[in-house]
Amino acid sequence: MSHAQQYIAAGYGWVIDLDLERFFDRVNHDKLMAQIAKRVRAFLNAGVMENGLVSPSVEGTPQGGPLSPLLSNVVLDELDRELERRGHRFVRYADDANIYVRSERAGLRVMESIKRFITQKLKLKVNEAKSAVARPQERKFLGFSFTAGPDIKRTIAPKALERFKRRIREITRRAKGVSIKTTMEELALYMRGWRGYFGFCETPEVLIALTRWVRLRLRAALWRQWKTSRRRRAALVANGVPERTANNAAGSGRGPWRLARSRALSLGLSNAHFRSLGLLSLFGAC
């Protein structure tokens, strides 16, 4: 992603976003086996280094070597070499590839040329519906996109944000029938992995807003879990909410989502309360 960001900042403001149609279903077996044989032979013949000198190997396999690389990288290594030969700025991960150029016209020309190479040389097919020449801000790569303007920043693509919210909704909906401990453990597991990947973005306000949204989901879920006015009032008072404020919230006819934003629930189910239960922040101490 950082390489893509550098290309855009350097003036390569158009991207050829390539999507290979049913890549793993269409890999040509003969070409795959030929590439694997070539790679393995080179790997085995690489030799070993002893005291700064390389000695040839005639048997055995080097220790610690990645003998089983991803099949997609084996197949598409030829594409990488072709793009390098042509002097293109590109990034690729598995079967996702983006090529950066300076103009839309150049992008359309490169798209047609690379499609021919992929079809004729690699015996694969480009997905016309999902591939495009566009501004980088209009496309996504590995769940990320980029902001517009002179200061190019990595941001989380809208579809990745939608997937996050969908998963959080699934977990918090189930909270009605399980313990808060179980819910928090499931949330922590998912959010830790998500933060480890998308924490790489450069738009912290998005991560802060998502963390706040998760807390609102939890407040609404707990409100539903308490069920009766009596239990709701008792729970709020037990969590330090003044009796009058707790009474007003418990007797309110407003729905859980609206009450999640109320002063009563903000006090009784504070940020510190959720941290004590193990809720992770997606960014800093927000």
Q: What is the pLDDT of residues 190-223, one digit of tens each?
A: 999 999 999 989 999 999 999 999 999 999 999 9
Backbone phi and psi for residue 65, each to the nearest 5 degrees, phi listed first = -85, 150
Task: Please give the pLDDT value at position 34.
Answer: 61
Task: Please give the pLDDT value at position 46.
Answer: 54
| Non-local CB neighbours of 187 within 8 Å, separated by 6+ positions | 168, 171, 172, 214, 218, 279, 280
State in Å, rounded, how far the first CA of the chain is from the last one.
Answer: 26
Task: Please give the pLDDT value at position 55.
Answer: 45
Please report, for residues 5, 35, 91, 203, the alpha-carbon distance to residue 146 in angstroms, rounded to integers and kept in the order given: 8, 35, 14, 10
pLDDT above 70 for 50: no
Confidence of residue 255 (pLDDT cuts 50, 70, 90): very high
Question: Considering only 59-73, 143-157, 193-207, 220-234, which range has the smallest mean pLDDT?
Answer: 59-73
**Beta pairing, strands 132-134 & 14-19:** antiparallel
Q: What percent of the chain has pLDDT over 90?
A: 69
Residue in 121, 89, 92, 116 with CA at minimum distance from that of residue 102: 89
- Token pair recorded at residue 47: 């030799």
pLDDT above 80 for 59: no
> Model's pTM, two decimal places?
0.78
Task: Please give the pLDDT value at position 282.
Answer: 94
Task: Please give the pLDDT value at position 131.
Answer: 95
Spatial distance between the Cα atoms of 94 and 21, rounded to a whole number of angstroms:
13
pLDDT above 80 for 169: yes
User: pLDDT by residue (tens digit) across 90-121?
Assistant: 999 878 899 999 999 999 999 999 999 999 99
Q: Which residues of 56-71 are buried (b: 16+ CB within 10 A; e: fewer)?
A: eeeeeeeeeeeeeeeb
Residue in 279, 251, 281 with CA at minimum distance from that of residue 264: 251
Confidence of residue 176 (pLDDT cuts 50, 70, 90): confident
Confidence of residue 60 (pLDDT cuts 50, 70, 90): very low
Mean pLDDT of 137-160: 93
DSSP 281: P
Bridge partners, 156 (sequence order): 144
Mean pLDDT of 259-267: 97
Task: Please give the pLDDT value at position 58.
Answer: 43
Task: Please give the pLDDT value at position 96.
Answer: 86
Q: Which amino acid is at 81?
A: R
